[in-house]
Amino acid sequence: MGEMPLQMAGHKPPEEEAPSVAGIVASGAKELIAGLQEYSYLAFQSLTNLLSGPYYIQDILDQMDGIGVGSLPIVLVCGFFIGAVMVLQTGAQFTRFGQTALTGDVVALALVRELGPTMTGILVAGRCASGIASELGSMLVTEQVDAMRAMGTDPSRKLVTPRVLGAVLVVPLLTALMDFIGLIGGCVASVFTLRLDIVQFWTRAINALEFGDIMQGMSKPIIFGFILATIGCYKGLTVRGGTQGVGRATTQAVVLASVLIIVANTFLTKLALFLANKIF
């Protein structure tokens, strides 16, 4: 009976020492490095899985459908209005100098180089990184991931690689569509607010673009797709704390993926400009 919990009520628990600031910083740094290591391993493995089978082609197609077709409405709607609002903002400035004809140039360059890839990345991250994290997180807490492993399936191949590959393949396509629909939005706004000619807008927009701009605009989304999918998978597969943890992981996935996309965009732009000067 001496082992019954009620009998232990009189015992005073040993006092815990208050953690020092250095201890907290050290444990935080340790956690951060361990997290980085885990994420790097997951991201690296998602690519090396492509070197050997088994391949889950149907899962890749399902993910392309889910991420690509599923994100199409928000990307198109946002693209149209981003293009339109750019014309409204820049047109007012160009009108002061009587250079409204340049609107097409500005919209095309800004959309193709920066806004198209970045906004698509952020929008798809908001929709899909959260979806991936919550789906995988729920699978983890309900032991479905363990069940998969128990049946001889590698979750990295079955769950991570199809999502990463799906995102890497469709985010550039979504970006191209956003660029196009953004230009349509810009064109509509130009015609109705600046009284520009449709042909003039499109001629200037197309002429403003060089091969390097399109390369820059189409290569960034590949990285953004990779970032949003790997972050979603990482956050989902490292969920701690049951369903509450799934909610936390979902929020963290969106925030982290969006921030990383914006940070990566700066470095990718610098790299693209450097390469444009060297190659194109």
Partner 1 sequence: MTLPDTSAEAQAPAVQFDNVHLGFDEGEVLRGLSFNVKPRDTLILLGETGTGKTLSLKIAAGLLRPTAGHATVLGKNLEGMEEKELLGFRREIGFVFQEGALFDSMTVADNVAYRLREEHLDEDQIEPRVQEALRFVELENTLELLPSELSGGMRRRVSIARALINRPPIVLYDSPTAGLDPVTSQTIITLILRLRDIYGVTSILATHRLQDGFAMANFRFDAAERRVVSESAVTPDKAIPSVTRFAVLREGVVYFEGEPEELAETRDPYLQRFLI
Residues in the site for partner 1, rule: CB under 8 A?
1, 3, 54, 138-139, 142-144, 146-154
Instruction: Please say which residue, 59 or 114, places its beta carbon nearer to partner 1.
Output: 59
In whole angstroms, the minimum distance from the beta carbon of 155 to partner 1 comes to 10
Two structure tokens written together for 130: 């959260």
Q: Which CB sits closer to partner 1, 233 or 268?
A: 233
Pull the structure tokens for residue 149: 């492993």
Distance of CA 185 to the CA centre of its chain: 24
Least Cβ distance, residue 144 to partner 1 (angstroms) = 5
Measured from the CB atom, the residue of 52 and 266 that comes closer to partner 1 is: 52
Asked whether 117 and 217 are in contact (CB, 8 A), the reply is yes
Distance from C-alpha of 61 to C-alpha of 166, rounded to nearest angstrom: 7
**Which C-beta is closer to partner 1: that of 2 or that of 73?**
2
**Nearest distance from C-beta of residue 83 to partner 1, angstroms:** 37
Sign of the CA dihedral with 63 first, then 65, 70, and 71 last: positive
Cβ-based nearer residue to partner 1, 66 or 79: 66
The minimum distance between CB 244 and partner 1, in angstroms, equals 18
CB-nearer residue toward partner 1: 19 or 198: 19
d(CA 210, CA 107): 14
* Shortest reach from residue 6's CB to partner 1, in Å: 13
CB of 150: closest distance to partner 1 in angstroms? 4
Task: Check residue 196 and give left, alpha or beta (phi > 0: left; psi -120 to 50: alpha).
Answer: beta
Residues 6+ apart with CB under 8 A from 116: 79, 175, 176, 178, 179, 182, 217
The Cα 178–Cα 200 span in angstroms is: 21
Residue among 65 and 146 whose Cβ is closer to partner 1: 146
Min separation Cβ 217 and partner 1, Å: 35
Residue 6 is encoded by which pair of tokens? 């009620």
Q: DSSP of 231-279, one letter per residue? A: HHHHHHHT--SHHHHHHHHHHHHHHHHHHHHHHHHHHHHHHHHHHHHHT
